[in-house]
Amino acid sequence: MIRVAVFLALLIVAKAFKEEETQLVSGTASFLLIPAAFLLAGPAKALRWLRAVESVLKSGPWRYCSAVRRPDAKAGAGTAVQLRLGDGGDDADWTPVLAARTWRRRTRWSGEFEHGAWFAGNADRGGVIALPGGHGLMTLHRQ
C-alpha cells in the first residue's frame, strides 16, 4: 500500500512542477514504475493464493487426516505428500501423491503434519491442509 502511495505522490509532484522541471520528475516516475510493478507482484500473488484457499474452505468442511511426506515421489513445485482421511484404515484409503506448497511455492513441510492435520477440499484433486489451530497453512495440488 505504501508503494502505491509513493508512486501516486510522484505523479502528483510531476503535475505540480513547471513545464521545464516536469521532464526530470516524469522521468524519475517512469524509472520507478518498473520496480514498483515487480514489488506489487508479490502481494498480488499472495492475494490470488488466499482467494484460492478461501474458495476451497467455502466448498467443504475440515476433515482430520494423516499426512506423510513422500521423498521417493517427485513434486514439480512443492513437497510430495499423501493423505489418509479419517483415523485409520488400509492402504486403499491413501490419496494420490499431491504437491504441498505455500503461496511463495516454498516447500516448508513440517514433521508435525505427520502427527495429524486438518484437510479441506477434494482428496483426489487437492485442497488445503493445516495444523490444528490453523497454523502451517498450505495448499495441495495434483501432480
My answer on whether 131 and 87 are in the same domain is yes
How many structural domains is the chain composed of? Answer: 2
The Cα–Cα gap between 33 and 17 comes to: 19
What's the rounded mean pLDDT across residues 60-74?
86
Under the banding of pLDDT at 50, 70 and 90, the label for residue 135 is confident
84-134, pLDDT tens digit by residue? 887 666 555 788 888 888 887 666 778 888 888 999 998 888 899 999 888
My answer on whether 105 and 71 are in the same domain is yes
Domain of 52, in residue numbers: 2-57
Instruction: State whether residue 117 is helix, strand or coil.
Output: strand
My answer on whether 51 and 98 are in the same domain is no
1-18, pLDDT tens digit by residue? 666 777 777 677 666 665
Angle, CA 51 vertex, CA 114 and CA 118 arms, to 5°: 20
My answer on whether 68 and 53 are in the same domain is no
My answer on whether 95 and 117 are in the same domain is yes
Grid cell in block for residue 73 = 515421489
The Cα–Cα gap between 98 and 127 comes to: 9
The Cα–Cα gap between 130 and 143 comes to: 19
Name the amino acid, one letter, at 76.
Answer: G
